[in-house]
Structure 1
Amino acid sequence: MAIKNTSVALSDELADYARSKVASGEFGSVSDVVRDALRRAAERDLRIARLRQLVQEGEESGPARPFDWDAFMAEKFPNA
């Protein structure tokens, strides 16, 4: 993966936070902190998109049917 230099303006609060992560040894540089945050944001976006897809599939599957928990458990664990 090629790395491009990009300038990012951070508020004092975010810059201090990023520097504290570097000072703690958790990250090697402020750039590493920003890359990690962006990676996590991208992962979150993918999870949200997947959840939206699942909700849509659920809505399209029709109305809910009655569910008998005791019958379900008896079928799954007949000797219990």
Structure 2
Amino acid sequence: MKLGRLQFYISLINDGLAEQGRGRRLLDGKACHILAAKETAMGTMNISLPDPMKSWVEDQAKSGRYANSSDYVRDLIRRDRMRHDAIAEIQAAVDAGIASGPAKSFDCNAFKARMHAKHAGK
């Protein structure tokens, strides 16, 4: 699928519908991805699935939530990428915590006293 210079491809996350249009839109209060591109080409990939999985994918497309089977698979990949990015972000925070060295003792009462003193005039 190729889009014109001013066109955007909008893929709605919450209901999986896709629509081409101009400018930024938020339909029915749903969150959406907006991918701006001068040209977006889509490749083709053949995937072998067991019959029960194939039926599931087709049922998702027939439910009206997705335009077709490809749209459903694209949504799965998009969600998997977001999940992967979130895990990587959490792992980076864990690594930073480990690299910061051993934990120091924490005095809750001293912390509260500092915070009360710091924010007393506000």
Question: Common fold, TM-score beyond 0.5?
Answer: yes
Distance in 2, Cα, partners of 1:3 & 1:17: 23
One-letter amino acid of the counterpart of residue 58, structure 1: G
- The Cα shift of 1:32 comes to 0.5
Which residue number corresponds to residue 68 of structure 1? 107
Aligned pair partner of 2:90 in 45, 48, 51: 51
Q: Percent identity?
A: 33
Which residue pairs with 2:59 in the alignment?
20
Name the structure, 1 or 2, with higher relative contact order (CA <8 Å, separation 6+): 2
Match of 2:72 in 1: 33
Q: Give TM-score scaled by structure 1 length.
A: 0.81
CA distance in 2, matches of 1:6, 1:62: 47
Q: Distance in 1 between matches of 2:56 and 2:116?
A: 52
- Structure 1 segments unaligned to the other structure (5+ residues): none
Q: Distance in 1 between matches of 2:52 and 2:111?
A: 53
Alignment partners' CA distance in 2, 1:7 and 1:17: 17
Q: Tell me the TM-score normalized by structure 2.
A: 0.56
The 2-side partners of 1:5 and 1:69 are apart by 59
Q: Which runs of 5+ in 2 are unaligned?
A: 1-39
Equivalenced residue count is 79
Could you tell me which amino acid in structure 2 is paired with residue 23 of structure 1?
Answer: K
Higher helix share: 1
